[in-house]
Each structure stands twice: as structure tokens, then as C-alpha cells.
Amino acid sequence: MHDTICAISTPIGEAGIGIVRISGGESLKIAKRIFRSKNKLTSHRLIYGKIIDPDSNCIIDEALLCYMKAPKTYTREDVVEINLHSGFAVLSEVLSLVLKEGARLAEPGEFTKRAFLKGRIDLVQAEAVEKIISSKTTLAREISTQQLQGELSLKIRKIRENLLSILSLIEASLDFEEELDRERLFKDIFSIKKELKGFLEGYRTGKFLSNSCIGVIIGRPNVGKSSILNALIGTDRAIVTPIPGTTRDLVSEVINIKGIPLKITDTAGLCDAIDLIEKEGIKRAYKAIENADIVIYVLDGTGIITKDDIAIFEKIKNKSIIFTVNKSDLPKRIDIEVLKKYKKPIVFVSAKRKEVSLLLDEIEKALFSSYDEAHIITSIRHKEAMERSLEHLDRAISSKEDEVVSIELRDSIDAISEILGENITNEDILDRIFSTFCVGK
Ligand code: GDP
């Protein structure tokens, strides 16, 4: 039996309403001690009344209280939610009262953890709750909502079921020495592998949805990096100046590319700098490139491609680069032949005229290259478990002995079950997952 937990479930600050939430066996008893109303506390009904300090009989606030009797609740325990006026004093005083009456402060995500431990939702759904809360765009929210509704869990269960039926055939053949139709079984394993690979591909876009994608704008001084960032965000946040080398710091903005948050950074110009501050900026620019998912390499269309540029291309050619030739409103001088060998997209833009739609198109292509709504995962935990499952399947396929095939299949199934949270016995893993949640959820 779990103890009773409580937390403030809304952000701390002045607002119309703030909620104190309680879950556990003592919830109703605590509510009865601190809540006075003319009406009876009926389950799943919002009741108007007052929160009273039972020791002093002082009224703390008017409240709407909802008592929800187990098991039809979020945690499958008795839950009480108290709607108060949202002010720091009100919420913390009511929380203190609840604590004094015997509840303890909830850990981050502990309400959801209880929902999981009581079997109301699986781990994939529990994680979706946090993802819905942290969604920055509608697309990210939509994918998380589908996940909470159990759509991803269903697909994962199906993979596990298919693996289990393959395993049962192999085990039957081991037990009864029946002839095994290896070819047929391996064909089935191949199709499961394909499904898993589809999810791993989907993670490329999925991780952008949950963590945002990192883009950097680089190029030599004065090619128009800040202007491009401005054109992209449509504001004047970055300092635009005709003096080379004035973007000494990194300026970041988040733009929404069809539902993917793209955090885009304007870096210092890359050149052989004498100035110390500038050197520091360049060091940071390289660091930013290292961490970037997309590199927007800006060139001045009225200039030439220098040895410095080529040296940088060579250094970063494994990255996802978009060669962006700026100042297309002016007569062109640049020869882009040398760029072609890198097999990266090349676009012509004019930051000055705010004509950057070709660049936006390429960014979109890069972000959505692996997008397949049926195979989208947004969690690194799911990705790693699927990778492990795949490795075991590969080993199963390459093995000549049925015993080994059976062991590898079992391990592969275990990795899949782990995604759903069904065979996680290690509390640390659960704690790590739920610690990323907010308190009160
Ligand atoms: P950065 O040093 O690479 O960040 O370059 P800036 O954005 O500060 O721009 C350098 C200079 O080029 C400024 O005078 C801008 O007004 C100018 N510039 C930027 N983009 C364009 C463009 O598309 N066309 C023209 N004609 N000038 C531009």
C-alpha cells in the first residue's frame, strides 16, 4: 500500500486558479479535515466550500474540491483535487495543511508513476504524458496524444506477439524435435526487423519533435548570416551591421518548421581572426557546428568561394549542410561548381528582400526526410531498446543452432517488453524516467 502524496499541480504564480492534488488512501480523510461545505463530498463531483485550518478554524480560501474514489482515477487510488485561487501564499498554506494532516510531498512524476505501477497505463503512455506537457508545437502534441491513447503501445505489443509466436515454434521444435521451416521463420523475423528499422528511421524526425532540432548559420563575416536569421524569424533580433565580425556572440531563436521546433543559432563569422574576442567566437562557432543537426552555410553570391570556405567544408562535410548563396538581388559573381561535389542542397536567397523560402524548403526536407507517421518514436529510451532488440534478431538470424536462435529471440522480446515497462524490475530505471516529469504530474 502506497502512502498518500500531495503536490501543487499548477505553476506557482499569480493566476485565476491553482490546484493542490492529493493521492492515496488518506486523501478523503485529509479532505474532510480541512474542507467545510454545506454539500456532501460525493465522488467525482466538484463541491464548493472553504479550506479551513482545523487547528485555528481560520478560513484560508474558498475552494472547489473534487474527491475521486478509487479505482476510476488517474492513479487508481483515491484522489482529491482542490481548486484554489492561485497565489503563492494560498497554495503553499493549503499544501502545508495537507502535509500536516499526514500526506507527504510527491516526487516529480509520482502521480503518473503510480498510474503506471497500478497498471492503468503502460510506460510508453506514461512517458507520453510528460511529452504532451513539454510539447512546443501542435504536431509534437498530436504525436504524444496518439501515444497516450495507446497507439504506439499497440504496435509494440504486436511486434512482441509476432516474436513470441516465432519463439514458440522454435521451442516446440526443440522440445519435440520437429522439423523447423527455417526459411519461413526467418522471413517473419525479417519483416519484424523491417518494422523496427522503420521506427529507428522515424526517430530521426521524432527526436526533433521532442527535443527541437538544432540548426546553425555559419559562413565568413559579412555574407549575411544575421540577415538570414532575421529573415527566417521575421524579426530584427540579430544585430545586422555592415562591419565584418560584429556577431561575436551566438544569437539563438526557435522557429516552427511545420511542427518541428528548430533552434537556430547565428554564429560568429569564420575567418582567421586576429582579434581575441573574435577568436573566442569562432571557437564557439565550431562547437555549435559539432552539436548541430543542420548547418546553414552562407556564401556571398557577389563574392567568391575562398580556400577558407573549402577548408571548412572539408571539416564539416559529414554534417547535414545547406549551401545558402545569399544576396541574389545583386549581380552574381560566385561559381558554385566546387560545391557540387559535396552533394548537398544549394539554394539562392536574398536576405535583404526576405526571400528565403527556398532555404526554408530545404530545411523542411532535411527535417522531414524520415517522417512516417506510422513509425514515429520520440524517446531515446524506445530507440535504444529497439536497437537492442534488432541486434538480438540479427544474431538469431546468423546462428545455425536453434538453441541460440531461441535465446536471442527471448532477449529480443525482453528488449521490446522493456519499452512497455513490463519487465523493469530496477527501481532506478523507473526513477530516472519519472524524474524528468514536473512535480504534481
Ligand atoms: P554577417 O556578418 O554574415 O552576419 O552579415 P550581416 O547579416 O551582418 O550582413 C552583412 C551586410 O550584407 C549588411 O550590410 C547587410 O545589409 C548586407 N546583406 C545581407 N544580406 C543581403 C542580401 O540579401 N542582399 C544585399 N544586397 N545585401 C545583404
Q: What is the mean pLDDT of residues 122-127?
A: 95
Q: What is the 3-state secondary structure (H, E, C) of the chain?
A: CCCCEEEECCCCCCEEEEEEEEECCCHHHHHHHHEECCCCCCCCEEEEEEEECCCCCCEEEEEEEEEECCCCCCCCCCEEEEEEEECHHHHHHHHHHHHHCCCEECCECHHHHHHHHCCCCCHHHHHHHHHHHHCCCHHHHHHHHHHHCCHHHHHHHHHHHHHHHHHHHHHHHHHHCCCCCHHHHHHHHHHHHHHHHHHHHHHHHHHHHHHCEEEEEECCCCCCHHHHHHHHHCCCCCCCCCCCCCCCCCEEEEEEECCEEEEEEECCCCCCCCCHHHHHHHHHHHHHHHHCCEEEEEEECCCCCCHHHHHHHHHHCCCCEEEEEECCCCCCCCCCHHHHCCCCCEEECECCCCECHHHHHHHHHHHHCCCCHHHCCCCHHHHHHHHHHHHHHHHHHHCCCHHHHHHHHHHHHHHHHHHHCCCCCCHHHHHHHHCCCCECC
Q: What is the mean pLDDT of residues 52-57?
A: 96
Instruction: Give the distance (Å) from ligand 1 centre to CA of residue 114.
Output: 56
Q: What is the pLDDT of residue 391?
A: 98
Q: What is the pLDDT of residue 330?
A: 96
Q: Say which residue, 172 or 418, is predicted with more confidence.
A: 418
Ligand 1 atom nearest the C-alpha of 241 is 8
Instruction: Give the distance (Å) from ligand 1 centre to CA of residue 227.
Output: 6
Q: In this predicted structure, which of 46-60, 113-127, 242-256, 423-437 has the lowest mean pLDDT?
A: 242-256
Q: What is the pLDDT of residue 97?
A: 98
Report field, pTM of the whole predicted structure over 0.85: no
Q: What is the mean pLDDT of residues 102-125?
A: 95
Q: What is the pLDDT of residue 199?
A: 96
Q: Which residues line ligand 1 (CB under 6 A)?
A: 219, 221-227, 240-242, 247, 269, 326-327, 329-330, 350-352
Instruction: Give the distance (Å) from ligand 1 centre to CA of residue 323.
Output: 16
User: What does the pLDDT look like over 297-325, one tens digit per residue?
Assistant: 999 999 999 888 888 888 889 999 999 99
Q: What is the pLDDT of residue 274?
A: 47
Which of 217, 220, 226, 227 for a ligand 1 pocket mutation test, highest count of atoms within 8 Å of Cβ? 227
Question: Whose C-alpha lies nearest to ligand 1, atom 11?
Answer: 242
Question: Whose C-alpha lies nearest to ligand 1, atom 17?
Answer: 224
Percent of the residues in the chain that have a pLDDT greater than 90, as a whole number: 65
